[in-house]
Amino acid sequence: MDETQQRLANCFQVVFPDLTPDAIPNASTAKVAAWDFVAALTLMNVVEEEFGLQMDLDDLTHLDSFENLYSYLRKRLQAA
């Protein structure tokens, strides 16, 4: 895991405390029952706080897995 992945994993751990560290990189809305709309909003806010950026609610539907969130973050961080 690179640093961004690790920080993102920490965000997942806060929002989904029942998720084991091994399961986090493969987490998605399809695999994690607790990942509902409310959890998605919370995760978005926690990621915003961790990475110091503002995310758009319009992006929410695409950010449906650890992998997609990681890709999104890499782009945002590179652009910054």
Partner 1 sequence: MTITEALKIAQSAPRGARSFAVTLACGFTPLHLQTFLAAHLQQALPDRKVAISSGLYGNLAGTLEAISDAALPDGLVIVLEWADLDARLDYRSAGAWSLSAEDDIVASARAVLERIAAALVRIPSGPRVALALPTLPLPPLFHTPGWQASAQQMLLQSDVTRLAAELAQDGRVAIIDMQRLAEESPAAERLDLKGDLYTGLPYSVQHADKLASPLARALVPPAPKKGVITDLDDTLWSGIAGEVGPDAVTWDLASHTHLHALYQKLLASLAECGTLIAVASKNDPAVVEIAFQRKDLLLHPRQVFPIEVHWQAKSGSVSRILETWNIAADSVIFVDDSPMELAEVAAAHPAIECVLFPKDDYNACLRMLRHLRERCGKERVSTDDAVRLDSIRQSAVFREQASSGAAPESFLQQVGAVVTFDFAAGDQPRVLELVNKTNQFNLNGRRYTEADWRKLLAASGTVLVAVSYEDKFGPLGTIAVAAGDLREQILWVETWVMSCRAFARRIEHQTLKVLFETTDAREIAFDFTPTAKNGPLRDFFASLLGEEPQSQFRLTRSQFDATCPALYHEVREMRRAEAHG
Question: What residues line the site for partner 1 (CB under 8 A)?
Answer: 11, 14-15, 17, 37-38, 41-42, 45-46, 49-50, 57
User: Which residues have a Cβ under 8 Å from the Cβ of 36 and sit 6 or more positions away?
Assistant: none
| Nearest approach, Cβ of residue 54 and partner 1 (Å) | 11
Alpha-carbon distance of 7 to 31, in angstroms, equals 21
Find the shortest distance in angstroms from Cβ 32 to partner 1. Answer: 16
CA-to-CA distance for 54 and 13, rounded, in angstroms?
20
Write down the least CB distance from residue 66 to partner 1, Å. Answer: 17
Residues 76, 16: Cα–Cα separation, whole Å: 24
Q: Which is nearer to partner 1, 58 or 78 (CB)?
A: 58
